[in-house]
Amino acid sequence: MKLEPECIGCLFNQVLKAFELLQPNFSREIIIEAQKKLMKFLLDFDLNQDAAPTLGKVTYNIIAELLGNHDPYHDLKIEYNNLILKHFDEITRIIESADDPLFKAILASALGNTIDFAGQHDIDIINDLKNFTLEDLVINDYGKFQKSLEKANHLLILGDNAGEIVFDKILIIFIKKYYPDLEIIYSVRSAPIINDATMEDAIFISLTDLIEVVESNAAPGIILSEATQEFKKHFLKKNGVILSKGQGNFESLYKTNIPQKDVYYLLKAKCNLMERIFGVKIGDLIFKKKNYTF
């Protein structure tokens, strides 16, 4: 995705929110210094170059550098993994009692995308999960997704955030139940980047005991030229399905040609850009099959 006007203010606001969250006692001079570093990078940025997820990576590295910590969200990621694991059985019971457990598991996975420290929203997962219904998925390509899985032999899930990865594990359990012969691969980031899930998170929640987990790249989205060979093998494998979680992954794949793959976006709209692209409101849940414009 190219740099969009809505993104500029959001990037600077992310810098401010990161310091407020991670080190609220930092001086205004340090925060402004981080924003100036980002501004200098943007001044020389080629507007014809794909911005996502490169700019997210640059922004994160500036924050990490000034904090003197390559993984400043580490403790928060553990906290949110533990929080969702604490409700693992309750979430599973809610899903099992639904009229369509697979759909409810997809909805839970979408709601899990709420866990994003860079987003602009509140977290009330259990209450949302109990009350959300089919009608609350504003864009709903669930039927198409079922048909895609019926004809596919493999599914690659592009993971997003820590905490959210627990919901994805629950979704995978239900997908395996309904499609037992389907090979499922889950991707995480190859190095710490914001609160995105890494192999450490996958191991921590025992996802690696359930399916194959591979590392993609060290950015909040997919940069195929920087991805591991193992990830490329699964990403480029023909006649399969990709389930892309979250906004960073969506921005990476937006208007990108992925031949002989059915690609689905599962995310919660968190900013004005997503409102404009999808024609939804902030907070809406989206489950959309990729087409030539997306």
Render 237-283 in DSSP notation, one character per residue.
-SSEEEEEEHHHHHHHHTT---TTEEEEEEEE--SHHHHHHHT--TT
| pLDDT, position 24 | 80
Domain boundaries, the chain: 5-67, 77-289
Tens digit of pLDDT for each residue in 159-168? 999 999 999 9
| pLDDT, position 123 | 56
Determine the average pLDDT of the residues in 120-137: 70
CA dihedral over 133, 271, 18, 247, signed as positive or negative? positive
Determine which helix (DSSP H) or strand (DSSP E) holds 139, and give its type and residue range: strand 137-140
CA dihedral over 177, 179, 183, 184, signed as positive or negative? negative
The pairing of strands 154-158 and 183-188 is: parallel
Tens digit of pLDDT for each residue in 29-82? 989 999 999 999 999 888 777 777 888 899 999 999 999 999 999 999 999 999
Chain centroid to Cα 137, Å, comes to: 17
Residue 73 to residue 131: CA distance in whole angstroms: 30
CATH architecture, domain defined by 77-289: 3-Layer(aba) Sandwich (3.40)
Tens digit of pLDDT for each residue in 185-238? 999 999 999 999 999 999 999 999 999 999 999 999 999 999 999 999 999 999
Tens digit of pLDDT for each residue in 238-287? 989 999 999 999 999 998 888 889 999 999 898 888 999 999 998 889 99
